[in-house]
Chain A
């Protein structure tokens, strides 16, 4: 069924009144699409949905989880990981302690990618890795470090490109076995991260809309990739200005390949293709 703007506003207003969730500055088209899909999956109409969220708190959590989008993979966007490896982490290596925040970590593959890379660069011990997501089920999934292998055929290819190969010298191949970091069981169709990686990060459920800082830390690097695309430009700028205040001097922000800082937050950062440095 096609929803009107008034329908969506009514739903958002109700949700805001009965819960802590404010989706009113989410990106309009994907939000509309997600709500329409929700109605279809729950075999209900807007009135039915509003009635159900008003009367059932657990259902509220479920539908917010269903509205938000979770997409991630190990070493997603190899070029971005090359930038992190060769242009960002070397600039942080001299620090006594490094704090990294994954804002909107989804099921955690990006966190594990970072942990693997940190270990390769001998930065593992002196780095604190923090990760948040709105969705508590995704946080639980991250904490397990256990993924279906079948959907993730790119994993090994991406790993090879970031960890084994040297983009500046194609003759050089570093021999870094997969078993150093994860175990693949093709029969059970799983990929399981090593325990020392799983134990490392600190997680918290957190809503970016609220501009909160669950760890009370300042960060040297914030990764927020393909998360802000679900917000309108105003909210994007509010979140980015908050990130600015959470970054240490000369701290970095990494956004998605097709994301740029556009708006008032622009002047607070120096742009370097898909990453930014705090001014």
Chain B
């Protein structure tokens, strides 16, 4: 397979989309999937459990410096930034929020783009702010594949629209198309 990893950023309105994707992805989907999602500060548990109930792939919050494995979904822990290191490990950080967000979608995307370059697929979903737009632009810059959730389908289109503004994306997809696309990767 040409690609080595998938990274997804989402905020308000993205939870159902993520659930759909994780529930309908092929159970032998071979790549690691990184989820950098905004969450309420005080809701630390429950979110992961809700996703793992539906997910056909194992999903976990990575520990700092944990080695990245394929066929696994990784969720950025609440209140930490999640980086992908060049050596194939996660790094967590409690640096101040960026654009009021921790995890910051941009920071996760920057690090993943630098590590996987043209072998990364970056996806931006529904959300109420601009986080992720610069990150997706970076994925494009390194030759990765970029997808944005169709703003007309997004519950809150601010984030997809912001990403579309700065990136010449490869695909603007509805949820169903995102799933079909991922499942068609060879």
Contacts and interface: CB of A to CB of B under 8 A. Distances in A.
A28 B91 CA distance: 9
Given A33-B107, A236-B65, A28 B85 contact: yes
A263 B66 CA distance: 10
Interface stretch (B92-100, B143-151, B152-160): B92-100
20 contacts: A27-B83, A28-B85, A29-B83, A29-B110, A30-B93, A33-B93, A34-B95, A69-B95, A229-B92, A229-B93, A232-B85, A232-B87, A256-B64, A258-B62, A258-B63, A258-B64, A259-B64, A259-B92, A260-B64, A262-B63
Contacts of A229: 64-65, 91-94
Contacts of A71: 94
Interface of A is mostly: loop
A69 B65 contact: no
Interface of A: 27-30, 33-34, 69, 71, 226, 228-230, 232-233, 236, 256-260, 262-263
Contacts of B63: 258-260, 262
A228 B64 contact: yes
Given A27-B85, A262-B65, A262-B66, A230 B93 contact: yes
Given A33-B93, A229-B91, A233-B65, 16 more contacts: A27-B83, A27-B91, A28-B85, A28-B91, A29-B83, A29-B84, A29-B91, A29-B93, A30-B81, A69-B95, A71-B94, A258-B62, A258-B80, A258-B92, A259-B92, A262-B63
Contacts of B93: 27, 29-30, 33, 69, 229-230
A57 B107 CA distance: 31
A154 to B, nearest CB: 9
B61 interface: yes
Contacts of B117: none
Contact of A233 (B83, B89, B92, B110): B89
Contacts of B62: 258
Nearest to B138: A2
Contacts of A230: 93
Contacts of B94: 69, 71, 226, 229
Interface string B85-127: 1110101111100000000000100110000000000000000
Contacts of B95: 30, 33-34, 69
B77 interface: yes
